[in-house]
Structure 1
Amino acid sequence: MNRSPPVKAELSAALAEEPAPRPSAWRVASLSHFLPRTLLWQTFFLIALLLTLALATWSQIFRHFEEPARARNLAQMVASVVNLTRTALINSETERRTELLIELAALEGMRIYPAEASDELEPLPDTRAMKLLTDEVRRQLGTHTRFASRWKTLDGFWVSFRLDPDDEQDFWLMLPSERIEQTGALEWLVWGGGALLAALIGAYMIVSRIGVPLHNLARAARVVGSGRTPPHLPEKGPLEIATVAKAFNQMAGDLARTDADRALILAGVSHDLRTPLARLRLGIEMSGAPDTDVRAMVADVEEMDRIIGQFLDFGRGEPQEPLQMEDLPALLADIAEPYRLRGIKVRMDAPKNLEVPVRTLPLRRAIRNLMDNAVRYAGEDSPISLIVSAREGEALIEVADRGPGIPEADMDRMRHPFTRLEEARSNTKGAGLGLAIVERIVASHKGRLELRSRNGGGLRAIIHLPIQDARRGRARLLASDDPAGE
């Protein structure tokens, strides 16, 4: 007996309007990714990427094989709900059907509506899991079964059914989306994230066994580059790292022995060359030759002795003398006094007291080199300006002359050893080591050498030294005035 017309009328009268659900909006945030530069973090990044891809791949594999079984279970549940609903509607008393529909909506969240040709429908998502589910439901309920994700304004899992197989009238049954969607996704995410985190911690521990020895090796290499003997590296760990550490320790030992041999050779050169030069000068002065010839030969001997001194100074490498507090104005006044006794005009402008931690003997040598250059290139009749000042945490020592100067384009080149500017200073002698020695000494103080052209002609050589107290790491500047350089 066909009972679909009465049921259709009752369903239309019993169902109330449902409010339209609010649309959802998704916002996608763009993130900036920066590739790491160190080997440690590059390796860690690659391992982390590999672990993440592996976890994602295994998740997809698990999902691929888990989806058919889950689809069968969900299809069985949907078919059972539809069959039970059909049976309840057919066998319920007419006056109780409206009450039944209300209870299904209130207690189970299910909605039942008669299908119309004008119904506005949205299809289900086109995914593998949803296709497996719908195919299995059609197999159990019949090929006439239809599906939708929205009926008019209501979202859910919509499935059509007929009260009687011979009836052409369809009804829509809505199941809440929560019953169809996969549950436990958050738990899977938490466990997967925990497994990934544990794997990343293990990866970092593995990578650090390579990164830490390489960091120690780089630090020791910087010590070697500064001219000092590095600490002994531990020759342990992986075979490759231990081999590199052993080779580095052997290299550092060879360099230390070479440095000791160099110091011995320099001492021999100082004795074996300067002693004959002294005898040669004495012989020239006692030779009875004309005074003009004697002065020329003595000047040549002195130039040879000066060049040997420059080679010795440059060969000594970075000064090893410890820092000690020194009063710069008093130090420069002491250096300038011999030049004044030779009749050279030295103009000095300095505060009363400016104490700076320096290596006294190397700094004396650097300032004397700058003053010798000023005398050599500007002449003994031209005055030399010595200026001491303090500015922005630095002590400045300036030696200025009125010589031919250095073109701006060649100032950096002149800092290199064995470099001379023949075009500007063609009548001078020397090995081209003066500024290179000053540069090395200033660098050992963690300072810098600045070369500038002087207004009116000449060169300004400015030594910048950091001011810091030996005990507290800050300056002690006791001066009533702060002169400015020319």
Structure 2
Amino acid sequence: MKLSATLPLRYLFNFSWLKSGLFWRTFVLLGALTTMSMSAWVGMISIVQHEPQVQQISAQVISVVTITHAALTHSAPELRRELLFDLVSNEGIRVFPLEEDDKVAPPPDNALMPDIAALVRAKLGADTRFSSEVNGVAGFWVSFKIDDDQYWLMLERNRIRGLTGIQWLGWASVVSMLSLLGAALISSLINRPLARLTAATRAFAQGKRPARLPEKGPREIREANRSFNQMVDELQQVESDRAVILAGISHDLRTPLARMQLEVEMANLSPEARDGIQSDIGQMDAIIGQFLDYAKPTEASSFINVDISALLQDTVREAERLPDVRMHAEITERAHVMGNATDLRRVINNLIENARRYGKTAGTDITEIDVRCSLKGMHLAKRVVIEVADHGSGVPDDQIENLLKPFTRLDAARGQANGAGLGLAIVERVLQRHGAELHVRNRDGGGLEFQITMRAIA
């Protein structure tokens, strides 16, 4: 529990979350700029208005005390009670005798008070006292003399104070909140075209044809969107030209091979020579097929709901017909994915063929192949996990990455390879187009295991 509670704070204070996206980086930078600007503005206003505010409040206090002193001095004794009542009711001014046993609190603690006290004492006398509370009554208290008698004059606080610290904080909070909302809006406007471009790039990488990006807005955004649209059009043209070339290659190469096969059948050759030539022709045809499969694009528009469970069961039944293969299958029911059924079948067949060739059990001519399919996760996070493993000798750990490279065969497989080294490269290429993950590792107990993870659909 202690570790899980500290992880969010550690994540927050190491600022790694700023790398999550351009929106947050722009928002934080604009927010920091706004906060510094607000702080500078508040500091400047405080400095500029300090002296005028001190002068205004001091003049007000001096004026009230002087007028009250004069009124009480020149009024008839029998009228002073009415005068004090008028001062309280109309002006909010109260006058009390100053007693020695009065409980006097210190004057208000703010940046203006020292300067106010100095100006007021310069006019009313150095013995003028100030207090924020007398005998439990809060207010702004100023002492003055009439002959030898001393009095307290109390003013309402709102008459002698400007904006308090809390008020300053409140206004600053409101302005800061509005500034942060503005920063969020600006960040969103900046990030939106880039987010649209990122989504289109991701869709194109998955083999989809994204909608054309709008060529409007700032010059940089227009040029980026125009370049992307042009790139998509040109690559689509390249794909179309490649399809035509592949069709031509298939026809121009396989037609002579078929003619050679016919001539071998009709030629007066020894059985050994005929078998050798037919084997060579078959190998050439298989290599051409691998080249075509590797170069053939997988169109996302051809994806349909594929019952991968049924597809795996059919593939296992076909592989069981081979005399040198023993299949062990554990396939869950009703596992569905979005994809091209023909390409996915080619992936599984390539993995089984790779295991059949290079994963024979030590000391035998038999290859044992395990095929498993399971569902992991729940709801929207549900995944289909497919595993194809053999019981052979596996490959060195430092050479596993080379298995998926085109035209690559490991040393242990060279003597028995009869292809172009594209089988596993075709597997990886097709799975990338399907948005699937492929992991290759040595199996516990010996052998090589391929694990495919795809998003499941209902």
TM above 0.5: yes
In the TM superposition, 1:68-147 aligns within 5 A as: 68-84=51-67, 86-87=69-70, 108=93, 112-114=97-99, 122=106, 125=109, 127=111, 129-147=112-130
User: Helix, strand or coil: the match of 1:271?
Assistant: helix
Question: Would you say 1:345 and 2:329 are equivalent positions?
Answer: no
CA deviation after TM superposition for structure 1 residue 311, in Å? 2.4
Asked if the contact 2:355/2:369 (under 8 Å) is kept, the reply is no
Counterparts of 1:111 and 1:207 in 2: how far apart (Å)?
61
Partner of 1:3: none
Counterparts of 1:457 and 1:442 in 2: how far apart (Å)?
25
| One of 423, 438, 445 as aligned partner of 1:449 | 438
Counterparts of 1:299 and 1:438 in 2: how far apart (Å)?
25
Counterparts of 1:461 and 1:171 in 2: how far apart (Å)?
97
CA deviation after TM superposition for structure 1 residue 73, in Å? 3.0
Partner of 1:428: 416
Q: In the TM superposition, what whole-angstrom CA distance separates every residue of 1:181-232 from its partner, at most 9, and x where no partner exists? A: 2259888877776666666655555554432222111111112222333211
Asked if the contact 2:208/2:299 (under 8 Å) is kept, the reply is no
Task: State, as a whole percentage, how many aligned pairs show the same letter.
Answer: 36
Q: In the TM superposition, what whole-angstrom CA distance separates every residue of 1:39-73 from its partner, at most 9, and x where no partner exists? A: 33433443344445444544444444444333333
Counterparts of 1:243 and 1:104 in 2: how far apart (Å)?
75
Q: In the TM superposition, what whole-angstrom CA distance separates every residue of 1:129-161 from its partner, at most 9, and x where no partner exists? A: 334422331332134445455779876545443
Asked if the contact 2:384/2:456 (under 8 Å) is kept, the reply is yes
- Report which of the two structures shows the higher radius of gyration computed on alpha carbons: 1
CA deviation after TM superposition for structure 1 residue 373, in Å? 0.9
Question: Would you say 1:374 and 2:355 are equivalent positions?
Answer: yes
- Normalised to the residue count of structure 2, the TM-score between the two structures is 0.74
In the TM superposition, 1:65-464 aligns within 5 A as: 65-84=48-67, 86-87=69-70, 108=93, 112-114=97-99, 122=106, 125=109, 127=111, 129-147=112-130, 157-164=140-147, 175-182=155-162, 204-281=184-261, 291-292=271-272, 294-320=274-300, 321-326=302-307, 328-329=309-310, 331-332=311-312, 334-336=314-316, 339=319, 341-349=321-329, 354=334, 356-357=336-337, 358-378=339-359, 381-385=365-369, 387-392=371-376, 393-422=382-411, 424-429=412-417, 430-454=419-443, 456-464=445-453
User: Helix, strand or coil: the match of 1:231?
Assistant: coil
Q: How has the CA–CA distance of structure 1 residues 135 and 435 changed in structure 2, closer, same or farther, with 3 Å as cutoff?
A: same
Asked if the contact 1:382/1:402 (under 8 Å) is kept, the reply is no
Residue identity opposite 1:237 in structure 2: G
Show structure 1 runs of 5+ residues with no match. Answer: 1-31, 469-473, 475-486
Mean CA deviation greater in 338-347 or 253-262:
338-347
User: Helix, strand or coil: the match of 2:413?
Assistant: coil
Asked if the contact 1:319/1:441 (under 8 Å) is kept, the reply is no
Partner of 2:7: none
Asked if the contact 2:298/2:433 (under 8 Å) is kept, the reply is yes
Counterparts of 2:313 and 2:36 in 1: how far apart (Å)?
72
Q: In the TM superposition, what whole-angstrom CA distance separates every residue of 1:289-345 from its partner, at most 9, and x where no partner exists? A: 65555545544443333233222212123344321444734x445445665555333
Q: In the TM superposition, what whole-angstrom CA distance separates every residue of 1:342-365 from its partner, at most 9, and x where no partner exists? A: 533343535696463452211221
Asked if the contact 2:437/2:453 (under 8 Å) is kept, the reply is yes
Asked if the contact 2:384/2:453 (under 8 Å) is kept, the reply is yes
Counterparts of 1:421 and 1:461 in 2: how far apart (Å)?
17
User: Helix, strand or coil: the match of 1:425?
Assistant: helix
Asked if the contact 1:284/1:298 (under 8 Å) is kept, the reply is yes
- Normalised to the residue count of structure 1, the TM-score between the two structures is 0.71
Counterparts of 1:302 and 1:466 in 2: how far apart (Å)?
37
Show structure 2 runs of 5+ residues with no match. Answer: 1-11, 377-381
Aligned length: 431
Counterparts of 2:368 and 2:175 in 1: how far apart (Å)?
74
Instruction: State the superposition RMSD in angstroms.
Output: 4.4
CA deviation after TM superposition for structure 1 residue 249, in Å? 0.9
Mean CA deviation greater in 185-194 or 444-453:
185-194
Mean CA deviation greater in 308-317 or 455-464:
455-464
